[in-house]
Structure 1
């Protein structure tokens, strides 16, 4: 079967509509260039004279020739950003979260992607162990920057052991090649007590600092362990004392870097501060939140969004009882914010749930499951009018939790209560202030070509 991008939506009045493209059409090649992903498509469509090979759903192929303005967009969306198989991870890392997923779940949860294209497009972290000279040449030629690199440690022997592959030892050589290609990158360390912390972390920090200006940031997150760690390398998590030690160690480097460059450069995930019971850094210490999608600064960003969101409270005429769902680690922060609201007749209860599905050591909101939510809501059912679900617990673009329960399952379990989804602090605050009039629109995951070679999902 020919590779290509399958069209999932067409914008009204667009070039795609003018060309009479339809849903299900597959764009195979442009000007005889085979398309392997949305990146190829973007650069190929930058030309003004186009010959586009299309395959229709019935298998018939045709060539459509047309002219377009150099900055004219196609106006089509695609089922996937990668036209074919996503490049999967060949490592067997000590700390791999996929290896800790419960058995008999949907197939997509067991896919270990390690695809540099998804790193460029969506900020997915990659180890670079499956990349060769052709990949580096393409990254250089198309200037696919920035990338997001999982470093974990710059000690070659230790990295090879932690990733369980000899190619893991090449990290500093690979980063040097990105430097030579003028490609910028953000880096991360999954910190494992007794392995890559302490002196090894100091070494990693020093090495990544030496790769500036191409190395833009270093994010450090604690290893996450679930109760499904069967036949995995024995690891332990950080306790409050260990988290405090990491904060102190990293603070030394942050202060040093801020004096030298005006930025911290190194950033710790929220879990370290919440576990240690230490105050979160101020918003300005995150320097624009460059690793927000990596869970670094999420809590501070949430607090800042909440503070900046102005509301006109609709003081309710009769009591309104709402339950707000979140993970254990976020509970105290959200409760403190909600308690500051002064809205007549609003009773907002923050339910910070223990993660029964993955285990109590998993405390982040994004890993809550549908069955745990339903169970806890049934145990706290008294006088409830509505339920607020965090969108981060749902699969991107879909109303599905990690355990394959759906948002509809929640609604069916509580037919007399209104269920709404809060995507961020802005939506949560507005829902609390004007529950009856705020609608929550859920968007699907789509992939859109843009003529300026930037990408959206």
Structure 2
């Protein structure tokens, strides 16, 4: 018999709680169908009536008949798979996990490459470890959309960069999914002298030719830390190279807009910062399909700020807030801080661009900062408030990458932390201490 799936959460007030299902119980079957993973479970409970076979923690089995109204949720979360997650079989020359120091929490070294996580959480996968059975399952169940790390369309280049001959099968896999109507969001991590230039142009052209199956293409620069001993020698982009990529970006976006009605290919904010260029207009990002990939965050933030600008108060009680960010966003926040202080009397903002000594100074994104670096570079805040962007923290535990929590940081800098969600309206609401219900960004 299948081991079933362990219950990881039961929502308060839900049907599952009413049925006395508890965390640690196992869901063995839905409608007498054994469960191997979350996909089986989700398909099984998609109807308004179904039967669950639950094994309690004491070993007793319960049969529970569920009836729910259309749109009502069961309120039950289960583990992804009874066999564990599929892990990455590649040995990419640019792998970020391979560039991390020892001694961090174990989950940071996990290299998952599981299509089920791609479907349910938007994790990027390489397709290099998919079996024929799994490909057929994706197609037959129409598991869509998938998020795929492409990197290079050229099979030889991709296999060489990922150090896996199976990686060269990507073009045929992508085409097969496209023919079956499976939507794909693609990302290309660009490494200078490896998959830029003509290789990148071919990759974008081939992917774009598969629209509408290819729903978006994100182009992001390689991330390099100081922990690259015994690894392939790689370099980052120069400002001039980033500028050329931005010029090419505009050409591709105009081409795809005329062909598809969408810009289709989107470039990481880091390219524009490095090139010293303005971020593209809001419309260039369409509906921001790859926001979590660092693509369009700055423009979305700006648009949200502007959408509620006229709703801001003219004055506040004297307040000093410290804004914590990465080096790449420092100039951006300093500019907006000046505008906000001119707009709201009584508000004082101090921007702290934190140098990433932990991973190396070439890493400039806020999301990769550690509590240690923040603590070492902030002065005594004398009880004043500082903002921590949510992107710096592990979502469910409020831990930084170095396993220190927010309370630890508060004690180190003698300040009071506020965790701010990653959008402009939330940022302003924290600043003024009030909600901005009208004019929210959509």
Q: CA deviation at 1:288?
A: 1.1
**Structure 1 residues 323-332 or 46-55, which shifts more?**
46-55
The corresponding residue for 1:160 is: 159
**Structure 1 residues 305-314 or 399-408, which shifts more?**
305-314
Question: Which structure is richer in relative contact order (CA contacts within 8 A, separation 6 or more)?
Answer: 1
8 Å Cα contact 2:3-2:82 kept in structure 1: no
The corresponding residue for 1:353 is: 354
Where structure 2 has 5 or more consecutive residues not aligned to the other structure, the ranges are 436-442
SS of aligned partner of 1:362 = coil
Matches within 5 A, 1:193-208: 193-208=192-207
Q: CA deviation at 1:414?
A: 4.0
Listed one character per residue, the Cα deviations across residues 136-183 of structure 1 (whole Å, up to 9, x for unaligned) are 111112211111111100111111111101101101110111012210
The corresponding residue for 1:172 is: 171
Alignment partner of 1:420 out of 415, 418, 431: 418
The corresponding residue for 2:260 is: 261
Listed one character per residue, the Cα deviations across residues 222-271 of structure 1 (whole Å, up to 9, x for unaligned) are 00000011221111000101101111223222221122222211111001
> Separation in 1 of the partners of 2:34 and 2:103?
37
**Structure 1 residues 28-37 or 83-92, which shifts more?**
28-37
The corresponding residue for 2:101 is: 102
Give the TM-score normalised by structure 2: 0.92
8 Å Cα contact 1:323-1:384 kept in structure 2: no
Q: Establish whether residue 113 from structure 1 lines up as the match of residue 112 from structure 2.
A: yes
Matches within 5 A, 1:83-102: 83-102=82-101
The corresponding residue for 1:374 is: 375
> Separation in 2 of the partners of 1:422 and 1:69?
36
**Structure 1 residues 399-408 or 64-73, which shifts more?**
64-73
Matches within 5 A, 1:19-38: 19-38=19-38
Matches within 5 A, 1:61-72: 61-69=60-68, 71=70
> Separation in 2 of the partners of 1:93 and 1:395?
25
**Structure 1 residues 70-79 or 198-207, which shifts more?**
70-79
RMSD, aligned CA: 1.9
Matches within 5 A, 1:201-240: 201-240=200-239
8 Å Cα contact 1:94-1:162 kept in structure 2: yes
> Separation in 2 of the partners of 1:20 and 1:77?
11
Q: CA deviation at 1:309?
A: 2.9
Matches within 5 A, 1:5-404: 5-12=6-13, 14-47=14-47, 49-58=49-58, 60-69=59-68, 71=70, 73-78=72-77, 80-310=79-309, 311-313=311-313, 315-317=315-317, 319-341=318-340, 342-377=343-378, 380-381=379-380, 385-404=384-403
Aligned residue pair count: 430
Q: CA deviation at 1:32?
A: 2.6
8 Å Cα contact 1:5-1:38 kept in structure 2: no
The corresponding residue for 1:445 is: none
> Separation in 1 of the partners of 2:416 and 2:266?
39
Q: CA deviation at 1:63?
A: 3.2
> Separation in 1 of the partners of 2:101 and 2:39?
34
Q: CA deviation at 1:79?
A: 5.7
Q: CA deviation at 1:69?
A: 4.2
Q: CA deviation at 1:296?
A: 0.6
Where structure 1 has 5 or more consecutive residues not aligned to the other structure, the ranges are 439-457
> Separation in 2 of the partners of 1:323 and 1:170?
49
